[in-house]
Amino acid sequence: MQIVIRNIIRFILVLLLQVLILNNLENLGLANSFILPQIYILFILLLPFETPTWLSICLGFFIGLLIDFSLDTEGLHAFASTTLAYIKPRLTKSLSPRDGYDFNSEPTLRDQGINWFLLYGSILIFVHHFLLFFLEKLAWSNFFSTLLTVLLSAAFSLILALIYQFIVYQKKR
């Protein structure tokens, strides 16, 4: 039960972070159009291993749709995060250690270690950002500038995901 509440709190937290701060970076003059970090997908990334795939897909669609509401992007984020949620259980399965994940452990930095999370996080974040920005542009003409956006934004999202976990999980250690 505790794990459900923790995920609900995380859901609200990353949503607020994304909508109130990260989506306004450009307005605040703190970023250019190449760096558009998306922290909200951290919610999908950190869903427990036991989450059924259908549930994580629904949640992915839901949180993506909420971001779409705030940005008027009409299903763009919903599509990218639905796909992310669909891939996630497959990736965790293929990344699992020989004797499986520990009981009750979560796909977090604390439970799985930095190497595991870096690999896991960078793959999923890259896939998500790739879908997001290429679907947004819908043109291969600016391939390299879009790819630059993807890479820079993904790097920033990953760093933010690490910082988030350092801050939130510090006390529990």
Partner 1 sequence: MKNLVELISKFKDFIIYIFFSSLSLYLLFSNGFYHQNSFLNSSSTLMGGIYDRTSSISDYLELEERNRELRIELALSKMKNQESSLDLNNEPIEIIDSLSVLQYFYRPAKVINKTTGYNENHITINQGSINGIKVDDGVISMGNSLVGRVCKVSEHFSLVTPIINAEFALKVSLKKNNVDGLLTWNGSDIQYAQVEEIGKRTDVQSGDTIITSGSSAFLPQGVVVGYVTEIVPNGDVLDIEIELKSDYTKLLDVMVISNAFRTEQKEIEAKENPEVD
Binding positions for partner 1, rule: CB under 8 A: 19-20, 24, 27-29, 53-54, 57-58, 60-61, 64-65, 68-76, 78-79, 82-83, 86, 89, 135
Closest CA to 109 of 40, 57, 160: 160
Output the smallest distance, CB 73 to partner 1, in A.
Answer: 8
Q: Where are the alpha helices (DSSP H) in 17-52?
A: 42-45
Phi, psi dihedrals of residue 45, rounded to the nearest 5°: -60, -40
Q: Give CA–CA dist 47/60, Å, rounded.
A: 10
Q: Give CA–CA dist 132/152, Å, rounded.
A: 13
Q: Give CA–CA dist 128/12, Å, rounded.
A: 20
Q: Give CA–CA dist 63/51, Å, rounded.
A: 16
Output the smallest distance, CB 119 to partner 1, in A.
Answer: 23
Output the smallest distance, CB 61 to partner 1, in A.
Answer: 4
Q: Give CA–CA dist 49/151, Å, rounded.
A: 27
Cβ distance to partner 1 smaller for residue 9 or 16: 16
Output the smallest distance, CB 118 to partner 1, in A.
Answer: 26
Terminal Cα-to-Cα distance of the chain (whole angstroms): 20
Output the smallest distance, CB 90 to partner 1, in A.
Answer: 9
* Residue-level length of the chain: 173
